[in-house]
Amino acid sequence: MHHALGRAERQHRAIANEKPGPLLETKRCACGKAAPARLLVHYGKCHGCRLADRIATLHDGDLHILRHMVGATDHHPRARWGLRNEYLLNRRERAAMERPAAAGFARVGTALPQLQYFHATDPGCRVAGLDTKRSRVALSLGAQP
Ligand SMILES: [Zn+2]
């Protein structure tokens, strides 16, 4: 037991002392922002640019639905945004959630006869304008399947 622990500890120390490999270096994304080279090699762009690409796939109205889903509208004070996290669509309306779901901003929830619940994901909450605290509230409300 002690021996195994010692070995793990030595291994850990060896890793900690290693110089960062080329993929741990920081490089610049095309947008000018610094990002880990590993990320740029893998995705070709930084997190911000990837998020912007995902947002760009949304159509007019998609964002409105996302905001409505989490109560991030003018009807509620900003401090209460995230007071809900659900949106119920009938079969015909379902297509409206295809783009936000494909972009990772919404997920499918419970299915009812002819109806389908959708919930905002963490990135979906952010895109809808929620801060960290209110996103956490909204995510705790998004009924788990
Ligand atoms: Zn970028």
Ligand 1 center to 50 CA (angstroms): 7
Q: Count H helices, E strands: the chain?
A: 7, 5
**Domain match, 119 and 63 both:** yes
The reported pLDDT for the residue numbered 145 is 47
The residues whose Cβ lies within 5 A of ligand 1, an ion, are: 29, 31, 33, 45-46, 49
- What are 19-43's pLDDT values in tens digits? 656 666 889 999 999 999 998 999 9
Tokens 């291994």 belong to residue: 11
Are residues 24 and 82 both part of a single domain?
no
- Is residue 12 domain-shared with residue 48, that is, in the same domain? yes
Residues 49 and 62 in one domain: no
HEC readout, 61-85: CHHHHHHHHCCCCCCCCHHHCCCCC
pLDDT digits (tens, 9 = 90+) for 87-137: 999 988 888 899 999 999 999 999 999 999 999 999 999 999 999 999 999
